[in-house]
Structure 1
Amino acid sequence: MKQHFAPGQLDRRGFLMAGAVTLGALGLSTLGFAPRAFAQGKSLSELTLGVATYRGQDSYFFEDAGTADTPYKVEYAEFAGGNLIVEALASGSLDVGGMSEIPPIFSLQSHRQPRLIAVLQGDVNNQVFLVPNESSVESIGQLRGKRVGYVRSTTSHYFLIKALKEQGLTMNDITAVALTPQDGFSAFQSGQLDAWVIYGVFIQLAKFRSGARVLKTALGYLSGNYLIAARPKALEDPLRRQAIQDYIQREARTLEWINDNPEPWATKSARLLGVDKAVFLDMHNQRSQPSKIIAVSEQAIASQQEVADLFFDAGVLSERLDVSPLWERNFPLLAL
């Protein structure tokens, strides 16, 4: 039996993952589950897998996709952000969860690192610079001296630094305002921001409610990589490791169903998140690429290293960090 526990209200990561993780054609029609890996069904039936989720994420659609019949129990816990998932993995209260490239980087400084076992490549058009509809700003370079909202230590922060750097600017050349997504939305709607770097469903809300204009998307700036992380001790247990592998396969199949069924997905997402269905259909239609779960690669590791290096160069990190120890390079996604 699956249980969802919700310690907090929906916030930035819930919206982000609803937009970034649950969209896209996976092209995984040959991906199957692993019956041979679960020959000892009795043992698996006694195992409970702790999985992090976000409101409206793919875990809410397992029944719809026909992937809910796990040979082990699943206990879900909703989280507000990837940094909290990292902490829960480190404490032993979770086995597996998803996040952007950024939270594991900061875990290196606390020596509470998860193991990164797979990559979900998703949409990057769901992260943008927004400006008011009447704004005269037509380029990132014209933001010099302007009030720009962003979300600290997230992909929003990274996108802002990288886009400014491309124009020969730094955070010191703008009036950077670190805000939560909810506070940023209020500030943007009330005219207190000249631009807002934000992600997920907030983009559509600002577009639909105030006619906000997209100045630039993150296409070409962000990798679109969302990382699947596991508790190191869980991977040392062969049975639990197999359950994690199976769960990721089911997640991939669920995402495939979502892509093939945008109408029912949008309808259910609207009910779960309390947002109009049109918002989710727009997210689906505006995506930059299909989503797919892929194995760890040197390219994925290099992408996360680029994020860490940029944060160090910008003074967000106090030391230059090597991300390679975070990664489990030989975690199989397909069982034979």
Structure 2
Amino acid sequence: MTLSTRPTRALAVAGLLAATAFATACGSSDDGTATASSGDGASSSAVAGGGGTLRIALIGNTGPVVAAKNDGSLAKDLAKVGAKVQFTGQFPAFAPAAEAINAGALDAAQGSISSAIGALAQKPTFKIFAAQLDNATSEGILVKDPNIKSVADLAGREVAVNPKGTGEYLLLKALEKNNVDPAKVKRVYLGAADGATAFSSGKVDAWAAWADFVATAKAKGARLVADGAQVGSENDTTYSISNTFLAAHPATVKAFFDNIRRHSIAEHEDPQAAVDKENTGAIRLDDKAAAILAQNYRTQQPIAPIDATFQERFGHVAAFFAQQGVIKAGLDPKTFTVAPETLR
């Protein structure tokens, strides 16, 4: 069976509806979740610019946001500025989370520069307030076929990528770096979960993936024919906040930033302890994949405020996507990022 190569909004809409339904069904709980909307004051603000209920997407099963949920620390930190937190269910990737932000059903989410740019080019309803420099060795083009020994061998093959996101960015960077005509490689547009299924079942020849997905695939015997470092990736991890929430509750966003930065520092300094703390959900990484993730954490830089270096890299990725025809034109990074002084 040949998979469709046309991007589908059905997966994104399904993810949005499922997450919204999950959030509606959940009441307050021990981890500090709440069902109030972001416009609700939650309680009297402890500081100017605090208050509100921050609705955060859970993307993936590990990372600083998951750690902040698991240990209950984010709920406690936000309470200090008169705010609450609501974890609004599991999203497969940033794209459907961005649609939820666009629809006013979500306030914050994490994702790559490439996926953020893909979403911002369609509807700019959020800004990036923090980022982690790309951990380029934890992403790339996964293959299982021993006959695929180089990026050049992808010519005539099918590669699963998430559209206008990390997968499409990594594949196009790899093809450019290795002078392979993109027209000779068939892009199969799939969300992250469906990409994993297509790759593991052999319905595609390769898969452009990242983070937990790479760790899990490598644990099952896949290998990276090219990683992000080899193709010159600048695909930093970003943390985004809706324009509406940022305008109303900047002190709450600052408290959120301080919390996830602290968790990201812990990941870098003691990777195994961080993985043990985060990898506790119903869907868990096996021991081998968890060990690979811990290795990635050791080289991953902590979350930091937006600076000139990040803005430059943002500009590079946006210009590359425009040059490749993924988006219509480049984006001005200063328009779509939050200056550090805004959160001081």
Q: Please tell me the TM-score bracket, short chain as reference.
A: 0.7 to 0.9
The answer (yes or no) to whether the contact 1:270–1:277 under 8 Å persists in 2 is no
How far, CA to CA, are the matches of 2:187 and 2:50 in structure 1?
A: 51
Within-5 A mapping of 1:13-32: none
How far, CA to CA, are the matches of 1:332 and 1:155 in structure 2?
A: 28
User: Do structure 1's residue 291 and structure 2's residue 301 form an aligned pair?
Assistant: yes
The answer (yes or no) to whether the contact 1:87–1:112 under 8 Å persists in 2 is no
2:317 corresponds, among 299, 303, 307, to 307
Pair 320,58 (structure 1): closer, same or farther in 2 beyond 3 Å: closer
The answer (yes or no) to whether the contact 1:161–1:170 under 8 Å persists in 2 is no
The answer (yes or no) to whether the contact 1:115–1:326 under 8 Å persists in 2 is yes
The AA in structure 1 aligned to 2:215 is Q
Question: Counterpart of 2:226?
Answer: 216
SS in 1 for 2:137: coil
TM-score normalised by L of structure 1: 0.75
Shift of 1:99: 1.9
Instruction: Give the aligned CA root-mean-square deviation in angstroms.
Output: 3.2
Question: Counterpart of 2:244?
Answer: 233
TM-score normalised by L of structure 2: 0.74
Which consecutive unaligned segments of at least 5 residues does structure 2 have? 1-15, 21-43
SS in 1 for 2:327: coil
The answer (yes or no) to whether the contact 2:261–2:304 under 8 Å persists in 1 is no
2:326 corresponds, among 289, 300, 316, to 316
The answer (yes or no) to whether the contact 1:105–1:323 under 8 Å persists in 2 is no
The answer (yes or no) to whether the contact 1:101–1:227 under 8 Å persists in 2 is yes
2:256 corresponds, among 247, 253, 258, to 247
SS in 2 for 1:125: helix
Which consecutive unaligned segments of at least 5 residues does structure 1 have? 10-38
Identical counterparts, % of pairs: 20
Structure possessing the higher relative contact order (Cα contacts under 8 Å, 6 or more residues apart): 1
Question: Counterpart of 1:271?
Answer: 280
Shift of 1:197: 1.7
Shift of 1:110: 3.8
Question: Counterpart of 1:59?
Answer: 65
Pair 6,42 (structure 1): closer, same or farther in 2 beyond 3 Å: farther
How far, CA to CA, are the matches of 2:125 and 2:179 in structure 1?
A: 34
The answer (yes or no) to whether the contact 1:131–1:194 under 8 Å persists in 2 is yes
How far, CA to CA, are the matches of 1:83 and 1:41 in structure 2?
A: 34
Structure 1 stretches of at least 4 aligned residues deviating more than 6 Å after TM superposition: 42-45
Question: Counterpart of 1:125?
Answer: 137
2:127 corresponds, among 103, 112, 115, to 115
Q: Which moved more, 1:296-305 or 1:186-195?
A: 186-195
How far, CA to CA, are the matches of 2:168 and 2:162 in structure 1?
A: 6
The AA in structure 1 aligned to 2:57 is A
Shift of 1:214: 2.0
Q: Over residues 238-274 of structure 1, what are the superposed CA-to-partner deviations in whole Å (9 max), with x where a residue is unaligned? A: xx11111011101111222334443443334443123
Pair 140,76 (structure 1): closer, same or farther in 2 beyond 3 Å: same
Shift of 1:109: 4.1
How far, CA to CA, are the matches of 1:232 and 1:125 in structure 2?
A: 32
Shift of 1:51: 2.5
How far, CA to CA, are the matches of 1:164 and 1:88 in structure 2?
A: 32
